Structure 1
Amino acid sequence: MTITRDPTDDVSAGGPLLFGRVLDGRGGGRPIGWEQAQGWQPAHPGEVLWLHVCRTADGVQEWLESEFGIPESTAELLTGEATRPRAFRDGENLVATLRGINFNPGAEPEDMVSMQLWSDGARLVTLRRLPLQTPRDTLREIDAGKGPVDAGALVTQLTEHLVERMNAAIVDMNDEINRMEDLDFEREDSEPLLAEIAVIRRNCLALQRHMGPQHVALEAISRDAPGWFEGHDRREIGETIALLRRFLDDIDVSKESAVVLMDELRSRSLALAEKTNRRLTLVATVFLPLSFLVGLFGINVGGMPWADIAGHPFGFWFVSGLCLGIGLLTLLLFRRWRWL
């Protein structure tokens, strides 16, 4: 089989294998290469083969079909672009598509990374397109001798790490909302805050859109997993489901808090705009009759009061007093009508 590789993938030479381990049944494991993995059979009771593969490499679908006898439709699902979380049982095989937070440089929390999974109890294959940290977490535990002891424990540990990594993104969003709630909105520019809140709401909606189906997928694993998925594995994945449920509840709270903050900012902005418009209206109302009166007495036509009486000493002061009286009367009326 000819393999072509994307230069951005860390695919090992000679195949699509990113890494492989043979679990020894005691929490540890030994490395295995691509060639050694072909036609693998356990040398000792309790050994489990785990292969982490780049699904974008050419020939992966055909390899899944020929090496493991996976049906074509299932192999297409494992290597395709349909990454909505789901899980189902295919005889004694478990098939799942799960998603995790994208911690790659330049990625946003809502840019989820998918991981496909297939296992028959003795062999487990995980596939991904973009780098995902969850398998590496489990790999470090195996190399330290503290990893899973069988295929069921490996599945539960992978899902546990996948869900636990969401905590950082959710905590960051909650901290940001708490910071905004402590701000004095009257002293802050509302436009940048509204933009930040809109980003948080978008992140919450994206996480909720992906994590809701993942909750259903994990429940399907717990409820309808093959026989090699033991009782303690079901209990472990039940804990992961409960943790994911709490995270979904936290996302709901963050989303509602963001809506409340956005409404408060908008109401303050509207109140400030209304207050400014009211002040401008009052100023215009006070000065409109005065402007009319001054303009009327300022026109250069005959017959205006005191215009033809040379040296009359009271014309200017009379007009000034009249303007002052009209202004005071307007202010008193506004105060009586409670417009001020």
Structure 2
Amino acid sequence: MSQADDAAETETPLLFGRVLDGNGGARQIGWDEAQAWQPSRPGEVLWLHVCRTRPGVQQWLEGQLDIPEPTAELLTSDQTRPRAFREDETLVGTLRGINFNPGAEPEDMISMQFWSDGSRLVTLRRHPLQTPREVVAMLDRGAGPLDAGATITMLAELLITRMSQSIVDMNEILDELEHDDSEEHAERMLKQISTIRRNCLSLKRHMAPQHEALEQISRDAPAWFEDHDRREIAESIARLRRYLDDIDISKESALVLQDEIRARSLASSEHATYMLTIVAGIFLPLGFLTGLLGINVGGMPGMDDPDAFWAVVALCTLLFVVLIVVFRRLRWL
């Protein structure tokens, strides 16, 4: 991004502005120039990327672009559920992407609102979003979208494509957990699996409405949204559907692995409890016998016999062997 873009980001609602030339390139445009912009030749499109939380954005949308008040409120509000609709010859929508800002979690989502009449495109965001920066970098290289419809299509495609990396990362973690020692690291593994399941649920909850929004664009977009743009949107819809299916598979895999780890931990605990019960069952009669012979009362047999101790040891050994045999016959051992 140029220094002029950085200056615009601090002084006005404009984060960057470009005039698409219809051949994949664009020239930079400032906030003041954009207010009076008119296409100088066929095929030019004005694209303004705006921070919607800065003062005066809604008034600018209503006054400069003649956007109805309810639509302007929608474009600047925090109601970020993905949706899209046609309003006369304009297309309005809200899309979501994964938050890749430092310190963010995959389930954190960032919304981007957009409005376009075919010759002008305004995109709005609250938090930094990488996707518009990628598209404007392509325009600056001369390899960007040709018109407003292609720009909207490319933005939607990149937002969806970024989902794949989060899904791949979750699947890699699941693969590692499947080969990990669940007995030694059960607590850590269960914590990781719970995080993955929460991420899957959050991604599915946030991205499923985007599927409906893209279908709405494909069906109801104005005539300036050309057939090739509709085909690209259809491809994005198919890709999003595959990603949503992958999220379901990851969620089910995490659930199966979680149940397996819990079952192993429970079986290990039950086995330990069982062995302790067997040991107690063996030594309980021996403890009773030695306790009985150890009472300090007169008349205990063998008190004056030097061989009595060894007789008691032999009796305990015999009793121990008998108990082992009995337990084995009962299949307790």
SS in 2 for 1:161: helix
Please give the alpha-carbon distance, in whole angstroms, between the structure 2 residues aligned to 1:39 and 1:82.
30
Q: Cα deviations across residues 71-96 of structure 1 (Å, max 9, x unaligned)?
A: 11111111111111111111111111
Which of 147, 156, 166 is the equivalent residue of 2:153?
156
Query: Partner residue of 2:82?
Result: 85
Out of 289, 296, 299, the residue aligned to residue 300 of structure 1 is 296
AA of the residue aligned to 2:309: F
Distance (Å, rounded) in 1 between the aligned partners of 2:296 and 2:316:
19
The 2-side partners of 1:334 and 1:68 are apart by 88
| 1:6 equivalent in structure 2 | none
1:146, 1:208 → 2: CA distance? 32
Match of 1:147, as an amino acid? Answer: G
**Alignment partner, residue 177 of structure 1:** 174
CA deviation map 1:98-131 (0-9, x unaligned): 1101110000000011101111111000000110
Cα distance in 1 for partners of 2:256, 2:135 equals 40
Q: Is the 8 Å Cα contact of residues 93 and 115 (structure 2) preserved in structure 1? A: yes
- Matching of residue 238 in structure 1 with residue 234 in structure 2: yes
Aligned partner of 1:223 in structure 2 is 219
CA distance in 1, matches of 2:36, 2:150: 23
Q: Distance in 1 between matches of 2:301 and 2:208?
A: 83
- Would you say 1:192 and 2:185 are equivalent positions? no
How much does 1:63 deviate? 0.7
Q: Distance in 2 between matches of 1:45 and 1:10?
A: 30
Structure 1 match to 2:130: 133
Q: 2:66 aligns with which of 69, 90, 95?
A: 69
**Are the equivalent residues in 2 in contact too, given 1:20–1:51 (CA < 8 A)?**
yes
Evaluate the alpha carbon distance shift between residue 65 and residue 142 of structure 1 in structure 2; reply closer, same or farther with a 3 A threshold: same
Tell me the distance in 1 between the aligned counterparts of 2:96 and 2:22: 27
Q: 1:59 aligns with which of 49, 56, 78?
A: 56
1:5 aligned partner: none
Instruction: Give the aligned residue type for 1:273.
Output: S
For the pair 1:114 / 2:107, whether they are aligned, the reply is: no
Distance 1:290 1:192 in 2: 42
Aligned to 1:336: 329
Question: CA offsets per residue over residues 275-319 of structure 1, 9 Å max, x none?
Answer: 000011111111111111111111111122123xx3x13321222
Does the 8 Å CA contact 1:14/1:34 hold for their aligned counterparts?
no
Q: Distance in 1 between matches of 2:11 and 2:322?
A: 94
TM-score normalised by the chain length of structure 1: 0.94
| 1:11 Cα offset (Å) | 5.4
C-alpha offsets along residues 151-204 of structure 1, whole Å, 9 cap, x if unaligned? 111110111111111111111111111111222434x32110111111111111
Structure 2 residue runs without a partner (length 5+): 1-5
d(CA) in 2 for partners of 1:189 and 1:150? 54
Residue in 2 that maps onto 1:326: 319
1:54 aligned partner, one-letter code = C
Cα RMSD over matched residues? 1.3
- Per-residue CA shift, 1:9-61, capped at 9, x if unaligned? 98524410000000111111110000011132111111110000001101111
Out of 162, 179, 189, which is 1:165 matched to? Answer: 162
Query: Given that residues 78 and 117 in structure 1 are in contact (C-alpha distance below 8 angstroms), is that contact kept between their aligned partners in structure 2?
Result: yes
| Aligned counterpart, 2:3 | none
Q: 1:4: which partner in 2?
A: none
Question: Which residue matches 2:139?
Answer: 142
SS of residue in 1 equivalent to 2:289 = helix
TM-score (norm 2): 0.96
Counterpart position of 1:3:
none
Structure 1 residue corresponding to 2:100, chosen from 103, 107, 115: 103
Q: Is the 8 A contact 1:29 1:142 kept in 2?
A: yes
Written as runs of structure 1 = structure 2, the 5 A alignment for 1:195-206 is 195-206=191-202
Q: Is 1:210 the counterpart of 2:190 in the alignment?
A: no
Q: Which runs of 4+ in 1 moved over 3 A?
A: none
Q: Which residue of 2 aligns with 1:275?
A: 271
Aligned ranges for residues 14-29 of structure 1 at < 5 Å?
14-29=11-26
How far apart, in 2, do the equivalents of 1:334 and 1:69 lie? 89
Contact 1:197–1:262 (8 Å) recurs in 2:
yes
Secondary structure (helix, strand or coil) at the match of 2:100 reads: coil
CA distance in 2, matches of 1:89, 1:182: 51
Gaps of 5+ in 1: 1-8
- Tell me the SS of whatever aligns to 1:20: strand
Asked if the contact 2:107/2:199 (under 8 Å) is kept, the reply is: yes
